[in-house]
Structure 1
């Protein structure tokens, strides 16, 4: 029985091993992935005659606002915003419905200060704010009115229709996001991927052909 000859295709094997490593190094250095974040916000629609605007202005006119003027100076604006965040934190915890903070954006104010103000309000869970022209006004909402319960009233019966499985929010499509990211990577690096697949194909085809030739010789 003839001993089969071992096949060493050094160039192909080295390429198969090194190509994924080089690909990972390239991806790490080029930093193709980027984390994106978003947040909800409301902006003034420019309509001053609407009932929504009039009601909000009537509500805001009853408040005492402390003005934070953002002038465009990076250092001073950063200090003002840091102090304003502390004041908002205290205001939210105190549930003070009289005081408020008004952020005024000057002509030279920078865009990052606008985003930072919205970020601070979201971080401190101060959802009640109003955008008007060059200002963002923040204050606590009106305290809820006490509800009087009638002791003689009949208890409320709650009837659930349908399956309780639909009560929860829709689950995040995790696999959809992963698949989308995979497609984006494939579109960006399709040439190296094709070259790698072809290299694997020709390498294994040569190994199979060599093996068949050795078997036929026997």
Structure 2
């Protein structure tokens, strides 16, 4: 007769299972604590000096409508919306009489400033100047129609620059990820070692149980 097969007990190694669960949680906690996943950015701005500002008489070039920001972003959303409509209108109409003067008070937060800069870029403002705590927004006059019958050859500098900045951004991101691995390689190595140790202990534990059951 065929000997009845005994049902094999499930492998259950408590220390290994606990460590495999808790160590990744500890690693993620450490990464978030040191802001390892935080993405940093920057704004490329040119600030006018007093001589240039007075030389081109920017303060007197337009009849400026003043927009004051002196609070956090969430409390300034309505004002930002009003500013957007005003800027869009003067740019669309090629208004060379009116302009926008945006003033940032002492209580203005960084998010509000960045939001205004993004607004200027999104509305394709042709001319704007940052001086002290103010931004002056000016629309350009309507371009005159070209009566000469000839074709303009575009050399493609915009696309070349666009590709260049995309490449720079990609290289910067790769360098950041590499620095993250270099900075925390001990943690990754330690976790890998513990995983291998637990696998070895689990196999050995299973062999001992099988040997004792014989």
Instruction: Report the TM-score, using the length of structure 1 for normalisation.
Output: 0.60
Q: Is the 8 A contact 1:186 1:193 kept in 2?
A: no
Match of 1:35 among 33, 39, 50: 39
State the match for 1:103 in structure 2.
102
Match of 1:180 among 176, 183, 190: 176
Match of 1:45 among 43, 49, 54: 49
- Per-residue deviation at 1:149? 1.5
Q: Is the 8 A contact 2:125 2:139 kept in 1?
A: yes
Q: 1:37 to 1:128 in 2, by over 3 A?
A: same
Q: Is the 8 A contact 1:101 1:139 kept in 2?
A: yes
- Per-residue deviation at 1:140? 0.9
Q: 1:81 to 1:144 in 2, by over 3 A?
A: same
Q: 1:203 to 1:139 in 2, by over 3 A?
A: same
- Per-residue deviation at 1:53? 5.5
State the match for 1:198 in structure 2.
193
- Per-residue deviation at 1:61? 2.9
Secondary structure (helix, strand or coil) at the match of 1:169 reads helix
Write the mapping of 1:68-83 to structure 2, written as runs, cut at 5 A. 68-70=67-69, 72-73=70-71, 78-83=77-82
Q: Is the 8 A contact 1:44 1:131 kept in 2?
A: yes
Q: Is the 8 A contact 2:99 2:137 kept in 1?
A: yes
Secondary structure (helix, strand or coil) at the match of 1:197 reads helix
State the match for 2:3 in structure 1.
none
Q: Is the 8 A contact 2:64 2:101 kept in 1?
A: yes
Q: Distance in 2 between matches of 1:149 and 1:169?
A: 33
Q: 1:79 to 1:21 in 2, by over 3 A?
A: same
State the match for 1:163 in structure 2.
none
Structure 2 stretches lacking a partner, 5+ long: 1-10, 208-214
Secondary structure (helix, strand or coil) at the match of 2:163 reads coil
Q: 1:158 to 1:23 in 2, by over 3 A?
A: closer
Q: Does 1:26 align with 2:24?
A: no
Q: Distance in 2 between matches of 1:168 and 1:39?
A: 16
State the match for 1:14 in structure 2.
17
Q: 1:149 to 1:53 in 2, by over 3 A?
A: farther
